[in-house]
Chain A
Amino acid sequence: MRREPARGLVQHLPVIFPGLMLIVFFIVPFGTMVAVSFFRRQQGGFYVPDFVLANYARFLTPFFGNVLLFSLYLAIAVAVVALVIAVPFTYLIARSPRRTQVIWLVALLSILSLSEVIIGFAWSTLLSRTAGITNLLVWLGLMQAPQALVPGFGAVLTGMVYQAMPYAVLVLYPSMVRLDPTLTEAARTLGASPLKAFFTVVLPALRTTLIATLIMAFIFALGSYLLPQILGRPSHWTLSVLITDQALYQSNMPFAAAMAVFLVLVSLALVSLTMFAGKKLEA
Chain B
Amino acid sequence: MERFLSRLYLALVGIFLAAPIVVVTGVSFNEKQNLAFPPQGFSFHWFAQIFTDPEWLRALIASVLLAVTSAALAVIIALPLAWFLWRRVAPWAQVFQLLGVAPFTLPPVITALGFLTFWATSGFYGQLWTAVIAHAIFFVTLPLVTLTLGFSSIDRSLTEAAATMGADDRTVFRTVVLPLILPYVVSGYAFAFVLSLNEYIVAYMTIGFVRETLPIKVFNALRYGYTPTMAAVSVLFVAVTAAVFGLITRFGDLPKLMGAMSSKD
Chain A residues proximal to chain B, CB less than 8 Å: 1-6, 11, 14-15, 17-19, 21-23, 25-30, 32-33, 36, 85, 88-89, 92-93, 97-98, 101-102, 105-111, 113-119, 121-126, 128, 130-133, 135, 162, 165-166, 170, 173-174, 177-178, 194, 219-220, 222-223, 225-226, 230, 240, 243-244, 247-248, 253, 256-257, 260, 263-264, 267, 271
Contact = CB atoms under 8 A, between A and B. Distances in A.
20 contacts: A2-B156, A6-B89, A22-B137, A29-B111, A32-B114, A93-B10, A106-B246, A107-B242, A116-B201, A118-B198, A123-B20, A219-B106, A223-B108, A240-B107, A244-B109, A247-B205, A253-B116, A257-B113, A263-B110, A267-B106
B93 A15 contact: yes
Interface of B: 2, 6, 9-10, 13-14, 16-21, 23-24, 27, 34-37, 76-78, 80-81, 83-84, 86-90, 93, 96, 99-100, 102-103, 105-118, 120-121, 133-134, 136-137, 140, 156, 159-160, 162-163, 172, 194-195, 197-201, 205, 208, 215, 218-219, 222, 226, 230-231, 233-234, 237-238, 241-242, 245-246, 249, 254-255, 258-261, 265
Given A119-B20, A131-B35, A14 B156 contact: no
A26 B103 CA distance: 8
B6 A33 contact: no
Given A22-B99, A117-B215, A131-B23, A3 B260 contact: no
Contacts of B27: 125, 131
A121 B249 contact: no
B165 to A, nearest CB: 12
Contact of B249 (A102, A114, A125, A130): A102
A27 to B, nearest CB: 7
B215 A178 contact: no
B35 A130 contact: yes
B195 A113 contact: yes
B80 A18 contact: yes
A173 B257 CA distance: 11
Contacts of B106: 219, 223, 264, 267
Nearest to B235: A118
Q: Which of B37, B115, B140 has the most CB of A within 10 A?
A: B37
Nearest to A124: B226
B113 A18 contact: no
B6 A92 contact: yes
Given A18-B81, A92-B10, A122-B23, A117 B218 contact: yes
A106 to B, nearest CB: 5
Contact of A131 (B37, B89, B218): B37
A29 B37 CA distance: 45
Chain B binding surface, main DSSP class: helix
Contacts of B107: 219-220, 222-223, 240, 263-264, 267
Contacts of B198: 113-115, 118
Contacts of A15: 80-81, 84, 90, 93, 96
A17 B20 contact: no
The 3 A-B pairs of least Cβ separation, nearest first, read A174-B259, A223-B107, A122-B20
Q: Which of A113, A166, A219 has the most CB of B within 10 A?
A: A113
Contacts of B194: 109, 113
Contact of A244 (B21, B99, B201): B201
Contacts of A244: 109, 112, 201, 205
B194 to A, nearest CB: 4
A31 B103 CA distance: 13
A269 B258 CA distance: 27
Contact of A25 (B20, B137, B205): B137
A115 to B, nearest CB: 4
B88 A177 contact: no
Contacts of A174: 258-260
A98 B18 CA distance: 21
A14 B261 contact: no
